[in-house]
Amino acid sequence: MESTTTKIYWAADSTVQTNKITTYPQTGIGQVFSLYTREGVAVINHAKNGRSTKSFIDEGRLDVIDAQIGEGDFLFVQFGHNDEKSEDPARYTEPFSTYMMNLRRYIDVARKHNAFPVLITPLERRCFVDSKHLGLGAHSDYVAAMKQTAEQNNVPLVDLYSMSRAALKKAGEQESRKWYMYFIPGIYDNYPEGKEDNTHLRYEGAVKYAGLIADGLRELGGIYKDLVL
């Protein structure tokens, strides 16, 4: 009997990846997203630490999704952190040229299988300049480029970047530490003291930001809203 399970395939970086004990307590958004999905929806998480739109393709990871994804499935595409790394030609993309061209390749893979692409803007880092105010971060051009790609290709977009910035501002510098791999004495001291990781997430942060993506899907309505509780 043919399965009726709807699958969400996720192409992304370390903020989304499924972690093993070797990277504990780091937790990716895709690792916990099934907390929000309806019965009959499965998350197939291909996100991998350190990947950009370019290196994910160059390593054949998009080809794997191409071979698996089927009609009625979804492809969530969430990159930006590593595309920004101009010092690394294996990963760097220029936001308004190669980054946008790569995003279209992901869109094309989904559509040729009659699956549904969804672009998700990159999660903001903890880039506080004081206790309440965030700096500009490094994502702005990539966010703008992803939004342009979504508009030009008629693809739905979940603006995690804007939602995460709002959540960070509301929480403030101290409270938001618990969402990230950040040393907190007496609470999260199984992570090295003096090590400030303002990018990678703990379980609390992964659940928080997965919930924001679920909110974005509900706002899109229709088949996207039907994926989540």
Decide the pairing of beta strands 196-201 and 180-182.
Answer: antiparallel
> Is 97 one of the annotated active-site residues of the chain?
no
Give start and end residues of each alpha helix (H) in 84-159. Answer: 100-112, 140-152
81, 113, 139, 200: which one is catalytic? Answer: 200
151, 175, 196, 219: which one is catalytic? Answer: 196
3, 14, 86, 124: which one is catalytic? Answer: 14
**How far apart, in whole angstroms, are the C-alpha atoms of residue 163 and residue 21?**
29
> Is 196 one of the annotated active-site residues of the chain?
yes
For the chain, the helix, strand and coil percentages under 3-state DSSP, each to the nearest 5 = 40, 15, 40
The b/e string for 10-28 (b: 16+ C-beta within 10 A; e otherwise) is bbbbbbbbbbeeeeeebbb
Give the residue numbers annotated as catalytic, written as ranges: 14, 196, 200
